[in-house]
Amino acid sequence: MGDRITKVSAREILANRGLVSLQVRVETESGASGTSTPESGVSTGTYEAAFVLDGGERYHGLGARKAAENVNTEIADAVVGMDVTDQAGIDAVMIDLDGTPNKARLGANAIVGVSLAVVAAAARSCRLPLYKYLGGPDALTMPVPIVGIGTGGRYRDPGTSRWLKPSYEFTPWGAGSYSEALYWGWQATEETVKILRQKYPGRFNPAYRGVALAGVIDHDRELLEIMTEAIVRSGHEGQMGIYFDCAADCYYERDIERYVGLFSAGEKTRDDVIALLKDFVEKYPITSLEDPLHERDLEGHALAVKELGIEVVGDDLFTTNPQRLREAIAVGAANSMVLKITQIGTVTEALDACRLAHLNGYNVHPCGSRGDNATIGDFSVGLNAGQVRGGDRNHLIAIENELGSSARWMGRAAYKGWRNSQAC
């Protein structure tokens, strides 16, 4: 007999980014436990599983008491007594219990909260670090950290948080270790801030948590030029690249079929966006970019892969959904998938999507922006993904120390394609 689940509980909390969230806890008869805090995202795809929110005036309708109640009643009743290591069985029970195609009845936040807490508790029950529980003895690859600096200019603002994009980051792939890559990223970020101060005196005011260049620059190209200069100034030319999340769907106006305010003021067609990105890739050391077109444009994302010759990452495009990924693979849309377990709603489905991606030559791009920041690094190492966006950096340093000389480092090979022969 395995280690049985004895208690499942949830409560509403204010999570790290100030968002209302659940905190879910799973306990077992051996005393093992796991917690999770699933959050919604800034850029949220149409194809994502549905969170259950309270509605009404409280927290602008974003409260999580209903979802917590669903965990504490129906879900708890269904999974208490199950073997905590039976991840697939537990996730299947919750999916069947919900009975909707997108987890809308019980809530993807409720279901994924339990699913993530279960895998954490299972690892502890087996007395294994989570990355080893997920990947076994071959879980040895430390990820290249993608180090964020902030957002570009804002050229159209309807007043919603979904427009806090595109976001720009460094990829210190040429470092020899995770901890060294973090330092390189810090150096390049410091240089970026120095250059911005020099270039835009009186207009640029550095924020505590990254730069925001609305009203400072007229085109995001200016930021790419500055980041490229920062790479050179910090001494990492030829060993560091740039990553950015376009989140283009946030700027797509479906009634006119145009991107409005993306990278600069004005309207752009799909061809305009691809041509602009192609110019970026030819001139700047871009290693990969995310969601360059709107989330329904599989054909356009396939064209982007051909035209850009670098890693094109699908986030809102895929929403960590195996079925959505299959549709993309059929036409060659993108070549890398963001891993956000909250998007699909269970660990089992997310890992199915990862296996499908790897089997078809797609990279997996773990991202800890949805409340799983504490564990996404474990998933990155467990899956040998080679890269990670976010994640608990101190925890990843601890993993690196634990692996010691057995740790692997993919470096440049962590990214698909290298069109830009002049890459810094």
Domains annotated on the chain, with CATH: 5-127 (3.30.390.10), 134-414 (3.20.20.120)
Query: Residue 164's Cα: distance from chain center in Å?
Result: 15
pLDDT in tens, 216-237: 999 999 999 999 999 999 999 9
On the question of pLDDT at 417 being above 90, the answer is: no
Q: 61: which DSSP letter?
A: G
On the question of pLDDT at 284 being above 60, the answer is: yes
What's the pTM? 0.93
DSSP string, 140-186: -EEPEEEEEEEE---S---S-GGGS--EEEEE-TTSSSHHHHHHHHH
Take residue 223 and report the two structure tokens written for it.
Answer: 């930021």
- Rounded (5°) CA angle 112-118-121: 145
Q: Which residues contact 348 (CB under 8 A, 6 or more apart)?
A: 87, 88, 91, 92, 115
pLDDT in tens, 159-212: 665 567 899 999 999 999 999 999 999 999 999 999 999 999 988 887 766 888
On the question of pLDDT at 420 being above 50, the answer is: no
